[in-house]
Amino acid sequence: MKNLQMRFAALLLILCMIGASLAGCGQPTPTLSPAQPTSPDSSISSVSQTDSSPASDTRLFTDSLGRDVEIPADIQKFAPSGSLAQLVLYGLAPDRMVGWTSKPTDAMAQYFDAKYINLPTFGTFYGKNADLNVEALIAANPQVVIDVGEVKANMKESLDALQQQIGIPVVFVEAKLETMGDAYRTLGELLNLPEDAKKLADYCDNTITDAKKYAAAIPQEKRVKVYYGEGKTGLQTNPKGSFHAEVIELVGGSNVADIPITSGAGGNEISMEQLLLWTPDVIILGPNSIYQSIGKDALWQDLTAVQQKKYFEIPNGPYNWMGRPPAVNRIIGVKWLGNLLYPEQFKYNMADEVKTFYKLFYHYELTDEQSKELMANSTFAKQ
């Protein structure tokens, strides 16, 4: 009896297939079959279909790791994978972001439209700080998860495993400081927002191109020696080659901390003796460091930069302009630090530049007072 049932089912299947080929049977056949490879240059393919739609509602997207990921043809809801992706994607499509990996703090909230602040928070998807709340993610119902940033070891395997775990397509778009424009163009293709992406990409490209041109004109003997300090003592530093310090070299500065990079998010811990040997011309300090007390601290008085009041606090709001996280916030940092170190080359009106950047990337209209407040400690140290 069981064999008879199986044969009957098989017969029905064959009849349906024949009927579909002759009369249409109400369902179109896929435009691609597994035996027909697509062109390697094609990032959009008709690879699946549903009973409710005669046309394909998915496409293949080849991400920056070379992974072919099946994604919805029309993405209206996405989740960022971490703080860097969140920052980059907010600039392009805030209305399509279903939530935060980390909710903006009260201090940061003033730079975001209130309608976005109360989006759900579902945590960071992977990495050493992963704290993903899968239930919150599922409730937010994204069509795809987008990761943005630098390529890391074993990343392909990590994203494949994440995709399998959550059952949602996961794609990666590489974004370095000097290729942020390319990243936005790729994201524009992914989200079908090419014109919006082009505005952001062009701004990034023009900033980087100008910085390289201006820096190239600065003779080596006139390059400013810069120390970048963070932490409660100011003696945590981001060495040359660190993501968080890339802006220094890009604008023609010389990072005095030319030392191996230690692991960890806080940078290298150094001694005051080492800093004295480096003799920086300019000191830039991260937010919540020692800017307010450095001028009165006896430990720092032997440094010429302190004596000449050439120490500055990196603007911070909603994110640190030098790179925490190391995302598109560094683009305005390029203009700020270039103008600070070499005002004759980087001839920017920074008040205007900051307003333009915040409008483009944060969708926020800065007031004159807010612009001044952001850079209050980043021009010349107060007497």
We report the CATH number of the domain holding residue 142 as 3.40.50.1980
Q: What is the pLDDT of residue 263?
A: 65
Residue ranges of E strands in the chain: 58-62, 68-72, 78-80, 144-149, 170-174, 225-230, 236-237, 254-255, 268-269, 282-285, 311-313
| Token pair for 134 | 């899968």
DSSP 116: H
Q: Is residue 351 part of a domain?
A: yes
Q: Is residue 65 part of a domain?
A: yes
Q: Is residue 37 part of a domain?
A: no
155 and 240 fall within a common domain:
no
187 and 78 fall within a common domain:
yes
44 CB neighbour count, 10 Å cutoff: 15
Distance from CA of residue 13 to its chain's centroid?
50
Q: Is residue 150 part of a domain?
A: yes
3-state secondary structure of 23: helix
Rounded Cα distance between 153 and 157, Å, is: 9
115 and 90 fall within a common domain:
yes
Question: Which of 152, 172, 205 is a domain's end point?
Answer: 205
Q: What is the pLDDT of residue 26?
A: 36
By residue range, what is the domain housing residue 281? 218-374
Question: Which of 205, 238, 253 is a domain's end point?
Answer: 205
| Token pair for 250 | 């890009």
- At residue 330's C-alpha, the angle toward residues 259 and 229, to 5°, is 40
184 and 262 fall within a common domain:
no
164 and 292 fall within a common domain:
no
Count how many Cα atoms sit within 13 Å of the Cα of residue 51 in the half-sphere of its side chain. Answer: 0
Q: Mind listing the pLDDT tens digit of every residue in the chain (383 residues)?
A: 433 333 334 333 333 333 333 333 333 323 223 333 333 333 333 333 333 344 579 999 999 999 999 999 999 999 999 999 999 999 999 999 999 999 999 999 999 999 999 999 999 998 788 999 999 999 999 999 999 999 999 999 999 999 999 999 999 999 999 999 999 999 999 999 999 999 999 999 999 999 999 999 999 999 999 999 999 999 999 999 998 999 999 999 999 999 999 865 568 999 999 999 999 999 999 999 999 999 999 999 999 999 999 999 999 999 999 988 999 999 999 999 999 999 999 999 999 999 999 999 999 999 999 999 999 999 754 43
302 and 343 fall within a common domain:
yes
Question: Which of 182, 205, 228 is a domain's end point?
Answer: 205
Q: What is the pLDDT of residue 262?
A: 86
Q: What is the pLDDT of residue 128?
A: 80
Q: Is residue 30 part of a domain?
A: no
Q: Is residue 73 part of a domain?
A: yes
158 and 265 fall within a common domain:
no
235 and 197 fall within a common domain:
no
**Number of domains comprising the chain:** 2
| Token pair for 332 | 């305005």
Q: Is residue 49 part of a domain?
A: no
Look-up of token digits 């007390």: 293
Q: What is the pLDDT of residue 6?
A: 38
279 and 172 fall within a common domain:
no
Q: What is the pLDDT of residue 55?
A: 57
180 and 63 fall within a common domain:
yes
Distance from CA of residue 211 to its chain's centroid?
20
Q: What spatial distance separates the first Cα and last Cα of the chain, rounded to whole Å?
A: 97
194 and 284 fall within a common domain:
no
Q: What is the pTM of this model?
A: 0.84
Report yes or no: 329 and 323 within 8 Å, Cβ to Cβ.
Answer: yes
**Given CA atoms 84, 87, 91, 96 in this order, what sign does their dihedral have?**
positive
Rounded Cα distance between 73 and 260, Å, is: 45
Distance from CA of residue 39 to its chain's centroid?
30
342 CB neighbour count, 10 Å cutoff: 20
Dihedral through CA 253, CA 256, CA 259, CA 262, nearest 10? -80
190 and 80 fall within a common domain:
yes
